Structures are given as C-alpha cells and as structure tokens.
Amino acid sequence: MSVPDARGFLLLRRGGGLWGIANSAVDGLAREGMDYRVTIDGGILMADEILGVVEDLRVWPLAPVVSRYWPQPAAGLAVHGRQPVVVVDPAHPPAALRINPEKAGAEGDRLE
Amino acid sequence: MSEPENARSRQEGTHLLVRAGEYACALPLSSVRRVVRALTVHPLPGAAGELDGLAEFGGEPLPVLNLARLVNAPAGPNPTYPVTVVVWVGPVEAREMLGLAADSALEVVHVQAGSVVAGDGGFLLGEAPVGGEVVRVLNLEALGRAH
C-alpha cells in the first residue's frame, strides 16, 4: 500500500533519526552553532545534520501501530539508502523537530 | 474430527516460539513472514517504550516493537543472538507488516487450542504449557487493531 510518489525532499537528521520535508515547504535554511534551523510554513525546525536533497521518495502511510506508540503527526514513512525516513507533514511538524522555545529568538548564520 | 479438520487445526495451532526477556512467547506461524538477525533500528524521539523505532526491511520502512515490553516480561540475560521477527498483524483485509524484537527464536511448536487459558482476550491470547514451560500465546491480529 502506498500513497502517490512525491518529488523533492530535504533530508535531515535529528534525534538519531532521518527526516524528510517536501522541498516546496522549505522557506529557509540557516546554521545555528552545531545545529541547523529550517524555516517552513509551519514554523521553525531544528536539525543536527543536513544530508541533502533527494528527488524521489516513495512514501508509505504511517501505520496505525506506529501512531499508537508514537502519537505524532507525520505525512508517512519512506526509505533512503536503507535507512527509514519519517516524512514530515509541514503543517504539523513533530515535537522532535520543533525548535526549543528558549532558542526561538536566537539568530542563526544564514547559509548562502 | 475429520482428517482435513485435524490438519487445519494443527496448522492453526502451529506457533513460532521466541524468547522475550524471561518469557517464552508463541507467535502464530501463519503470521510470521521471516526471522532475521536483529535489524538496525532507528529510534523515534518521544515514542513509547514498546516501539523500539524504525528499520528497513526489503526496501520498506518497518516499525519494530519490543516484544518483551509488549508482554511486560522481566529482563532476561543479555541475548547472544537477538532477532527481529517480521510478522503480519491486524485483520487480513488491513494487515500491516512490522518487526518484533526478541532475544532469540527457539523452535516451532504446536499449541493445543484447548490448553490456552487466562488470556486478556486481546494481544495476550493466554498461557499454555509447552514442553514443560508455560508460554505466552499471542494474538497478532489483535495487535494491529485500532484501540
């Protein structure tokens, strides 16, 4: 079972996991110390590492058993380079990616 | 019981016995897709303890649940050959594939339907004596049902 293929995802690492965000939802990317700050419509996300952009990801819907034990919004699951990827719903990013409120006012170094 | 009924009953009662902490658990063999060396699992921040995380299996994302946590098993000795049991859960018309992290796969056994007692009617179908040990008989169909 799958949802239609989506194209163009920014891949990032956070909390030991791999996350994908549709390119079309990304407004900006800035470095902040050792982390990265990703600006999207739904707010500001933090990443430990930016892996790059992949053109194609086959996205599977989030299995109910995952939602039961990880009650976070997500657009689905995918695999890239034999690693599982959580595909982020830009309108409802998971708590693990959202910026720490204490850091919300900090300025990052804009990546050119 | 006629011969075909007898054969069907034996098939339905055939289980894979796995070790999870100090418990032995019987998984319906018809729901087991494969047993593999423990897959590399990537944690999901904020997930409940039952969900170890996500792995990759056959090119697809695979949620991996911790079987010992699911059955509230006391911790056992460190496993020397931990496995991931890839299973189908949920009703046939909406089944999901997931992994169960277990300490080891033991053997295939036959669990007599009449010998299963004291279950919760859900995921834990009950307990049954197998080879001199009481094992937890699991209902994987119930694991996939919405709560």
Pairwise pLDDT comparison (A14 vs B80), residue with the higher score: A14
Q: What is the pTM of this model?
A: 0.85
Q: Where residue B134 falls among pLDDT bands split at 50, 70, 90?
A: very high
Of residues A78, A104, A94, the one with CA closest to residue A6: A78
Q: Which residues of A lie closer than 8 Å to B, measured between beta carbons? A: 14-18, 60, 63-66, 68-70, 72, 77-79, 82-86, 94-96
Query: What is the number of CB-based contacts under 8 A between chain A and chain B?
Result: 74
Closest residue, chain A, to B51 (C-alpha)? A69
**Between A78 and A101, whose confidence is greater?**
A78
Measured between CA atoms, the residue of chain A closest to residue B66 is A69
User: For A61, which DSSP code?
Assistant: P
Distance CA(B104)–CA(B120), nearest Å, equals 25
ipTM metric: 0.83
> Could B46 and A79 be called an inter-chain contact, meaning their C-beta atoms sit closer than 8 Å?
no
* DSSP track, chain B: --HHHHHHHHHHTEEEEEEETTEEEEEEGGGEEEEEE----B--TT--TTEEEEEEETTEEEEEEEHHHHTTPPP-SPPSS-EEEEEEES-GGG-EEEEEEESEEEEEEE--GGG-BS--SSSEEEEEEETTEEEEEE-HHHHTS--
B23-54 pLDDT, tens per residue? 999 999 999 999 999 999 999 988 999 999 99
> Do the bridges between strand A17-22 and strand A83-87 make them parallel or antiparallel, or are there none, so unpaired?
parallel
Q: Which of B20-29, B47-56, B104-113 has the lowest mean pLDDT?
A: B104-113
| Measured CA angle at A16 (ends A11, A18), to 5 deg | 20
- Give the whole-angstrom CA distance, residue B28 versus residue B21: 19
C-beta atoms of A63 and B53 within 8 A: no
Interface of B with A in 7-36 (CB under 8 A): none
- Select the residue of A64, A66, A95 nearest B46 (Cβ to Cβ): A95
B91 interfacial to chain A (CB closer than 8 Å): no
